[in-house]
Amino acid sequence: MLTALANTLPHFRHTQSGQFFLMAGPCVIEGEDMALRIAERIKHLTDKLQIPYIFKGSYRKANRSRLDSFTGIGDEKALRILQKVGREIGVPTVTDIHESEEAALAAEYVDVLQIPAFLCRQTDLLIAAAKTGKVVNIKKGQFLSGEAMKFAVDKVQESGNMNVILTERGNSFGYSDLVVDYRNLPAMQRFGVPVVMDVTHALQKPNQSSGVTGGQPALIEIIAKAAIAVGADGLFIETHPTPTTALSDGANMLPLDQLEGLLQRLTRLRDAVRPTGEVSAQGLNA
């Protein structure tokens, strides 16, 4: 599974089906039963719709507004659950890392190492992730343009790892809000790597006065449809059986029972907008 993922990711935009891929799961690993149940349900849906699937779950949440916010059930316990999901459900897995020394540890359990948006410029972290040989998913900083992410890609690839994904998740705009500039998707695709739209984090309302991040989950379908229309290679969606009881980021997660209908509509949209041939930017501007 690891080798297949590493060989396939650079070519997701050129698969015969032309289908987008999906990174989805809970914000954070809350327990084994829930993780397996979510992964199994999403795997069933994505198999039916022929959508390549990567299970997402954070083993630890290091970036919290308040000291008393939930951060995880324990690093190795959560990582072992991620490993079990991968083996039993038969899907690749992704989790985020925050410090250079976490890269080697997490790489023992998962297939994709994710670099959080706030840390996308951290050279030592990117190099450590690259040197594990795992696929590296770098989230674009809320403070950066798509074009600026070239340097993050270069740091990983020049460290000997060509398996890179870039993920758009919105830009800071005013106070406690984000806005998505869809120009960033084609801008980052020019680097020759798959580009993902992080649908749910793009709808966060960070830095609320309560110290708990808010969100706008009613707009999930709008953000996802726009990303597919623009040509995103993949979507990132956090989902939970009951977001209101989720231990992290429940305010912007998609209820699990709404995922099937959303994916059905998105696959139809992908079929409708898939180009019959490549058109260069020069051709469009001529």
Q: Express each pLDDT in 236-284 by its tens digit.
A: 999 999 988 878 666 778 999 999 999 999 999 999 987 654 433 333 3
Tokens coding 95: 């989790």
Q: Say how far apart CA 240 and CA 219 lie, in whole Å.
A: 17
Q: Say how far apart CA 12 and CA 21 lie, in whole Å.
A: 8
pLDDT digit string, tens, across residues 154-184: 999 999 999 999 999 999 876 778 899 999 9
Residue boundaries of the structural domains of the chain: 2-272
How large is the average pLDDT for residues 86-112?
Answer: 96
Domain 2-272, CATH: 3.20.20.70
> What's the predicted TM-score (pTM) here?
0.86
The Cβ of residue 118 has, within 10 Å, a number of other Cβ atoms equal to 14
Return all residues near 182 (Cβ < 8 A) that are at least 6 apart: 226, 227, 230
Q: How would DSSP label each residue in 130-192?
A: HHTTSEEEEEPPTT--TGGGHHHHHHHHTTT---EEEEE--EE-SSS-EE--TTHHHHHHTTT
What pLDDT sits at residue 211? 46
- What is the Cα Rg of the chain in Å? 18
Tokens coding 98: 């925050």
Distances (CA, A) of 94 to 26, 97, 254: 11, 10, 18
Q: Taking CA 44 as the corner, what is the angle to CA 8 and CA 6, rounded to the nearest 5 degrees?
A: 15
What pLDDT sits at residue 176? 73
Return all residues near 259 (Cβ < 8 A) that are at least 6 apart: 24, 41, 42, 45, 237, 239
Question: Could you tell me the pLDDT band of residue 61, with boundaries at 50, 70 and 90?
Answer: confident
Over the chain, what is the mean pLDDT? 85
Task: Output DSSP code: residue 23.
Answer: E
Q: Say how far apart CA 220 and CA 237 lie, in whole Å.
A: 9
